[in-house]
A and B are shown apart, each in its own frame.
Chain A
Amino acid sequence: MAQWNLFDDMEALRREIDRAFEGFGVGEGASHRVAFLPGRGPRRYPMINLLEDKDNLYIEALTPGVDPQSLALSVMQNRVTLSGEKSRTPVEIKAEAFHRNERASGKFVRTIDLPVEVDEGRIQAEYKNGLLKVTLPKADKAKPKQINVKVA
């Protein structure tokens, strides 16, 4: 029987907490290191929802004010990369003329890992009212297969 060691347990707990907080705030974590790389930041933008039904996966992303021309979508196996640019205020406004400035702007890149493989050839994307909706048909082998039970 293994002997219980308090310090081993404490070390394990500490590591677990570190892992849980990875990517939050400013720290030594990986997100801190990529903050200076172009197009990559610690904040996830845009926010997405992932949905599925029998045949398709759906990605819905909040992308208000993004120039549709700048939106780009690429798929590699089961990995989707979304990029684009949210434009600034259309006219040059002096900083002192602002009462509030809460809307973020700039370029963004986001990579999303999909739970199943998709058919790259039949992906459709639609941009409407600031929402991006991507329909990704599942690959044939990822679809559920119905098996009939025979009564002997």
Chain B
Amino acid sequence: MAEKTVPAQNKTLSNREETRSQERYVTPPVDIYENGDDLVVMADLPGVAKENLDVRVENNLLTIRGKPSHLDAGDPIYREYELVSFFRQFELNEKVDQSKISAELQHGVLTLRLPKAQETKPRKIEVKVA
């Protein structure tokens, strides 16, 4: 899994749109592991509601984008973090069956299941004893 931390620039956008979409972001910590035929990606996205999460796979590029919503009461006295948008991209080096990707968001943790495409699964060849 190669990582692309630099957001890919969408060349088709006009300059104006580009300046609008440029914003500060943090990279969420992730776990990526293989579980049987699935590639599982888990990401910590605290404060991100389902509506504000954008996950997409395009040309083997997995993009996770999330906008957290804040507690909007009061004035800050002490700050340890700032809730800015989450952004992270991964290049998938295995073929993924795009129609079977499932995503789940629970308690601020995104779990993505990316099933490997049929052709990339290791095939077991039975050896016949003649």
Contact = CB atoms under 8 A, between A and B. Distances in A.
Nearest to A132: B46
- Counting chain A residues whose Cβ lies within 8 A of the other chain, the interface size class is 35 or more
Contact of B46 (A58, A62, A100): A62
Instruction: Tell which of B33, B68, B69 has the most Cβ of chain A within 10 Å.
Output: B33
A104 B44 CA distance: 10
Main secondary structure of the interface of B (DSSP, over half): strand
B48 A51 contact: no
B122 interface: no
A65 B109 CA distance: 6
B73 A102 contact: no
Interface in B42-89: 42-49, 68-71, 73-81
Given A65-B108, A89-B33, A93-B35, A51 B74 contact: yes
Interface residues of B, number: 32
Nearest to A116: B77
Contact of B47 (A50, A99, A103, A131): A131
Interface string B15-27: 0000000000000
A148 interface: no
B45 A130 contact: yes
Given A98-B33, A129-B48, A58 B80 contact: no
A33 interface: no
B32 A98 contact: yes
A64 B42 contact: no
Contacts of B80: 44, 47-49
B107 interface: yes
A49 B78 contact: yes
A103 B29 contact: yes
Interface of A: 44, 47-53, 56-58, 60, 62-68, 89, 91, 93, 97-104, 115, 127, 129-131, 133
Interface of B: 1, 29-35, 42-49, 68-71, 73-81, 107-109
